[in-house]
Amino acid sequence: MRRLDYEAAIERIVDFIRRKVREAGVSGVVIGISGGVDSATTAFLAVRALEREKVLGLIMPYYDNGDLEDARLVCETLGIECRVISIKPIVDSLVSQLGFEPDRKTLGNIMARARMILLYAYANSMNRLVLGTSNRSEFLTGYFTKWGDGASDYAPLINLYKTEVWAIADRLGVPKRIIEKEPTAGLWKGQTDEDELGINYKLLDEILWRLIDLKKSPEEIAKELEIPIEKVEHVEKLVKTSEHKRRLPVGPTFDDLIAGP
């Protein structure tokens, strides 16, 4: 894996958050706190960059499980203000009006988008920015809900692979319990990132780094990592099919149809 200077990376992200808040002329940031490592790390970085009064955590459970406790632990460790808003009545009410029974992925995406609506309601009314929590592994594989958890004003971790987020979390003092938790989107019971992605993060990151950053061929990567080429092709497919999630919507252009003023 690439060798990153973690301390320097932390400083760069902290400077970035501080500068973006200053440039936007806002009074702080809002972050969705799930109890997972990505949102915890983002919150720890935000507190380093700003005064803790300028960081608001929104805990937005759908299910009643242990994640709520972990999310509270993040807020308490940092001493930031946290609000708990259940998205269950919001999501259930929305679903009751759909006119069909959504499958679990569709339902999960509704949850992610409901959280986005709440984060922006707070950002609007408090004159704050929404900090996203996406990392490079999720971003490149499209492992996020388009316009849901993928939507934010700035995403401090977007250029760090998941394995690098873990390393940084440890240096920042994120509670061990949260770092050691199995990554999950928490959209349905028993869901885990690695099951759904079909590969573990350590290998995924090794492949992505070679494929995207070093622009190596799948054959070269399979040989170097001593893995079946199908594994690399699987990752390559995830990247290709999610291209639409990494850009704003596009439409046809008309430059060649313009005869003159």
Ligand X SMILES: Nc1ncnc2c1ncn2[C@@H]1O[C@H](COP(=O)(O)OP(=O)(O)OP(=O)(O)O)[C@@H](O)[C@H]1O
- Which residues lie near ligand DND (CB under 6 A)? 105, 108-109, 112, 138, 142-146, 148-149, 185, 187, 193, 196, 244
Q: Which of 5, 11, 15, 38 is catalytic?
A: 38
Q: Is 197 in the site for ligand X (CB under 6 A)?
A: no
Q: Is 33 in the site for ligand X (CB under 6 A)?
A: yes
| Contacts to ligand X from residues 35-54, by CB under 6 A | 36-39
CB of 210 to ligand DND, least distance (A): 23
256 is catalytic: no
Among candidates 218, 217, 216, which has minimal Cα distance to 227?
A: 218
CB of 196 to ligand DND, least distance (A): 5
138 is catalytic: yes
**Chain-centroid distance, C-alpha 112:** 11
CB of 123 to ligand DND, least distance (A): 19
Please say which residue, 74 or 222, places its beta carbon nearer to ligand X. Answer: 74
Amino acid letter for position 247: R
Helix (H/G/I), strand (E/B), else coil: 252: coil
- Using left for φ > 0, alpha for ψ between -120 and 50, and beta otherwise, residue 127 falls in left
Alpha helices (runs of H) in 32-66, residue ranges in sequence order: 37-49
Structure tokens at 84: 């708990």
Residue 37 binds which of ligand X, ligand DND, Mg ion, none (CB < 5-8 A, kind-dependent): ligand X
Amino acid letter for position 256: D
For residue 56, the cross-strand partners are: 30, 81
3-state helix, strand, coil in the chain (%, to 5): 55, 5, 40
Q: Which of 67, 138, 149, 193 is catalytic?
A: 138
Q: Is 115 in the site for ligand X (CB under 6 A)?
A: yes
Report which DSSP code applies to 255. Answer: G
CB of 252 to Mg ion, least distance (A): 38
Instruction: Tokens 């959504």: give the residue.
Output: 102
**What is the distance between the terminal CA atoms of the chain, rounded to a whole angstrom?**
54
Residue nearest to ligand X (CB): 36
Please say which residue, 70 or 222, places its beta carbon nearer to ligand X. Answer: 70
User: Cα(213)–Cα(195) distance, rounded to whole angstroms?
Assistant: 25
Considering CB under 5 A, how many residues would be counted as binding Mg ion?
Answer: 2
Interacting span for ligand X (CB under 6 A) from 10-18, 28-36, 222-230, 252-260: 28-36
Residues lying near ligand X in the complex (CB under 6 A) are found at 32-34, 36-39, 58-61, 67, 115, 133, 138, 149, 183-186, 193
Instruction: List the catalytic residues.
Output: 38, 138
